[in-house]
Chain A
Amino acid sequence: MAVVTLDRLTKIYERGHAPAADSVNLEIRHGEFMVLLGPSGCGKTTTLRMIAGLESISSGTLSIDDRIVNGIPAKERDIAMVFQSYALYPHMSVKENLAFGLRRRAVPRDEIERRVAGVAATLGLTPLLDRKPHALSGGQRQRVALGRAIVRDPKVFLFDEPLSNLDAALRVSTRGEISALHRRLGATMIYVTHDQVEAMTMGSRICIMNGGKVVQVGEPLEVYRHPANIFVASFLGNPPMNLMPAVVSDDPGGRALRIGAWSFAVPAERMPPLPPNTNVIFGIRPEKISVAQAGGTHIEAEIVQVEPLGAETIFASRIAGVEKPVFARVGPDVAVKVGERRRLGVDLAAAHVFDADGKALHP
Chain B
Amino acid sequence: MTKPLKHSLLIILLAGYTAFAAGPFVWVAIMSLRTTSEIMADHFALPTILHWEKFPIAWFNSNYNVYFKNSAMIVLAAVAILTIVGAMAAHCLARYRFRLNRVIYFVLFSTIIFPPQITIISLFQILVQYGLYDTRVGLTLVYVAIQLPLTIYILESFFARIPNDLFDAARIDGYSEWEIFWRVSFPIALPAIATTMILNFILLWNEFLYAVVLITDDANRTLPLGIQRFMGDQLEDVGMIATGLMIAIVPVIIVYAFFSEKLIQGMTAGAVK
Q: Identify the A interface with B (CB < 8 A).
A: 49, 52-54, 73-75, 79-81, 83-87, 89-91, 100-101, 104-105, 133-134, 148, 152
User: In the complex the two chains form, is B273's CB within 8 Å of A79's CB?
Assistant: no
User: In the complex the two chains form, is B174's CB within 8 Å of A104's CB?
Assistant: yes
User: In the complex the two chains form, is A54's CB within 8 Å of B168's CB?
Assistant: yes
Complex Cα distance A281/B175, Å?
53
Residues of A close to B172: CB separation below 8 A: 52-54, 74-75, 79-81, 101
Residue contacts A-B, CB under 8 angstroms, 26 given = A52-B168, A52-B172, A53-B171, A54-B171, A73-B171, A74-B168, A75-B172, A75-B173, A80-B172, A85-B163, A85-B165, A87-B163, A87-B166, A87-B168, A89-B166, A89-B170, A89-B188, A90-B188, A90-B272, A90-B273, A91-B190, A100-B173, A104-B174, A104-B179, A105-B174, A134-B273
Residues of A close to B187: CB separation below 8 A: 91
User: In the complex the two chains form, is A84's CB within 8 Å of B165's CB?
Assistant: yes
Complex Cα distance A89/B187, Å?
10
Given A85-B163, A87-B165, residue A75 in contact with residue B184 (CB < 8 A): no
**Chain A's nearest CB lies how many Å from the CB of B43?**
51
Interface positions, chain B 57-85, Cβ under 8 Å from A, are: none
Instruction: Please report whether the interface of chain B is mostly helix, strand, loop or mixed according to DSSP.
Output: helix
Complex Cα distance A81/B167, Å?
12
Not counting A83-B165, A89-B188, a sample of 4 additional A-B residue pairs whose C-beta atoms are within 8 angstroms of each other reads: A80-B172, A104-B175, A104-B179, A133-B273
Complex Cα distance A210/B148, Å?
47
Complex Cα distance A85/B273, Å?
9
Give 6 nearest A-B pairs by CB, closest first: A101-B173, A87-B165, A75-B174, A104-B174, A87-B169, A91-B187
Mask, B186-207, CB within 8 Å of A = 1, is 0110100000000000000000
In the complex, the chain B residue whose C-beta lies closest to that of A73 is B171
Most buried by B among A49, A80, A83, A148: A83
Q: Contact residue range for chain B?
A: 10 to 19
Complex Cα distance A54/B171, Å?
8
In the complex, the chain B residue whose C-beta lies closest to that of A77 is B172
Residues of B close to A73: CB separation below 8 A: 171
In the complex, the chain A residue whose C-beta lies closest to that of B272 is A90
User: In the complex the two chains form, is A91's CB within 8 Å of B169's CB?
Assistant: no
**Chain A's nearest CB lies how many Å from the CB of B199?**
22
In the complex, the chain A residue whose C-beta lies closest to that of B186 is A91
Residues of A close to B184: CB separation below 8 A: 89
**Chain A's nearest CB lies how many Å from the CB of B179?**
8
Complex Cα distance A104/B173, Å?
7
Residues of A close to B170: CB separation below 8 A: 89, 100
In the complex, the chain B residue whose C-beta lies closest to that of A79 is B172
Interface positions, chain B 132-174, Cβ under 8 Å from A, are: 163, 165-166, 168-174
Residues of B close to A133: CB separation below 8 A: 273
Most buried by A among B173, B175, B188, B273: B173
In the complex, the chain B residue whose C-beta lies closest to that of A82 is B169
In the complex, the chain B residue whose C-beta lies closest to that of A104 is B174
Residues of A close to B163: CB separation below 8 A: 85, 87
User: In the complex the two chains form, is A75's CB within 8 Å of B169's CB?
Assistant: no
Complex Cα distance A84/B272, Å?
15
Given A90-B273, A91-B188, A133-B273, residue A74 in contact with residue B171 (CB < 8 A): yes
User: In the complex the two chains form, is A83's CB within 8 Å of B188's CB?
Assistant: no
Residues of B close to A104: CB separation below 8 A: 173-175, 179
Mask, B89-121, CB within 8 Å of A = 1, is 000000000000000000000000000000000
**Chain A's nearest CB lies how many Å from the CB of B121?**
45
**Chain A's nearest CB lies how many Å from the CB of B270?**
11
Residues of B close to A74: CB separation below 8 A: 168, 171-172
**Chain B's nearest CB lies how many Å from the CB of A92?**
8
Complex Cα distance A53/B174, Å?
11
Complex Cα distance A103/B272, Å?
24
Complex Cα distance A83/B173, Å?
13
Residues of B close to A49: CB separation below 8 A: 168
Complex Cα distance A85/B187, Å?
19
User: In the complex the two chains form, is A81's CB within 8 Å of B273's CB?
Assistant: no
Complex Cα distance A80/B188, Å?
22
Given A81-B169, A84-B165, A87-B163, residue A75 in contact with residue B175 (CB < 8 A): yes
Complex Cα distance A79/B169, Å?
11
**Chain B's nearest CB lies how many Å from the CB of A74?**
5
**Chain B's nearest CB lies how many Å from the CB of A256?**
55
